[in-house]
């Protein structure tokens, strides 16, 4: 008999969600402290993760996996949007310039591992990433646009879910599917554990990005202080 997975996932990941929001990188991002070099590293890492997830889920859907095939929501896919953003930040030869961070590689490897050993666990990653992106996307988009002084819409496609016209209606549909998945409580518990692990992989990625962001802020501060000392300015940071 199906279990109410959607509610259990929401309640079972609250602590991890809060921890992720309180990482230094996310806190800085939400306050508008983000630069293009750090942001493009973020989306390049996300690209590696989404390629793995969408490739594996697509394969399992094609193979008609009894659980994974039920979350066939093409409108959530992010790879195409990320490719547009990567072209904006890196140029047309972006594929030659990308390198995966160690944290994103570990995340990617985990997705591939469970896809081949216990595919049902992909539900935890699907929920954590896609619903998180959909829910907070527009707020983060506005922050990123202002912080990086981007005019127009280029470079921010990751946050655009053009095929989803009514987010509330879509989330209701998604919840209904999660609650009707043919799994038992034991599998539900494993999926919740995996969703919490997904948050950990994201936090590991954020920690790596923190180092990059701190270095950028340090350079800007050093440049400001050097200029101030040179001209004897009373300019504020």
* Mean pLDDT of the 46-68 span: 98
* Mean pLDDT of the 204-233 span: 62
Pairwise CA distance, residues 141 & 180, whole Å? 32
Position 222 scores a pLDDT of 40
pLDDT top residue among 220 and 61: 61
Candidates 2, 3, 1, 6; CA nearest to 173 is 6
Pairwise CA distance, residues 140 & 146, whole Å? 10
* Mean pLDDT computed over every residue of the chain: 90
Position 181 scores a pLDDT of 97
Q: How many CA atoms lie within 13 A of 220 on its CB side?
A: 10
Position 2 scores a pLDDT of 73
The reply to whether CATH 1.20.910.10 applies to domain 5-211 is yes
* Mean pLDDT of the 2-15 span: 93
The structure's pTM equals 0.88
8 Å CB contact between 48 and 100: yes
8 Å CB contact between 43 and 160: no
Which string of b and e fits 6-37 if b means at least 16 CB within 10 Å? bebbbebbeebeebbeebebbebbeeebbebe
**Distances, alpha carbon 7 to alpha carbons 18, 122, 140, 175, in Å:** 17, 17, 25, 8
Least confident window among 90-104, 175-189, 197-211, 216-230: 216-230
Position 97 scores a pLDDT of 95
Is the pLDDT at 219 greater than 50, yes or no? no
Question: What's the pLDDT band for 212 if we cut at 50, 70, 90?
Answer: low
* Mean pLDDT of the 79-87 span: 97
* Mean pLDDT of the 182-202 span: 97
Q: What does DSSP assign to residue 131? A: I
């Amino acid at each position: 008999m199906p279990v109410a997975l959607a509610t259990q996932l929401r309640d079972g990941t609250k602590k991890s969600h809060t921890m992720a929001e309180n990482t230094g990188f996310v806190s800085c991002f939400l306050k508008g402290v983000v630069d293009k070099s750090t942001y493009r590293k973020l989306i390049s890492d996300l690209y590696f993760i989404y390629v793995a997830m969408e490739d594996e889920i697509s394969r399992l859907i094609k193979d008609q996996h009894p659980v994974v095939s039920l979350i066939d929501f093409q409108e959530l896919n992010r790879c195409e949007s990320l490719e547009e953003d990567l072209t904006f930040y890196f140029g047309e030869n972006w594929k030659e310039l990308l390198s995966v961070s160690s944290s994103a590689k570990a995340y990617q490897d985990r997705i591939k591992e469970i896809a081949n050993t216990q595919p049902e666990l992909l539900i935890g990653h699907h929920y954590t990433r896609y619903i998180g992106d959909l829910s907070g996307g527009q707020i983060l988009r506005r922050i990123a646009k202002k912080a990086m002084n981007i005019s127009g819409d280029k470079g921010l496609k990751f946050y655009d879910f053009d095929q989803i016209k009514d987010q509330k209606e879509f989330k209701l549909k998604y919840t209904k599917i999660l609650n009707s998945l043919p799994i038992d409580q034991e599998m539900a518990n494993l999926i919740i554990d995996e969703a919490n692990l997904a948050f950990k992989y994201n936090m590991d990625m954020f920690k790596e990005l923190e180092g990059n962001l701190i270095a950028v802020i340090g350079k800007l501060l050093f440049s400001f202080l050097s200029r101030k000392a040179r001209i004897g300015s009373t300019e504020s940071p």
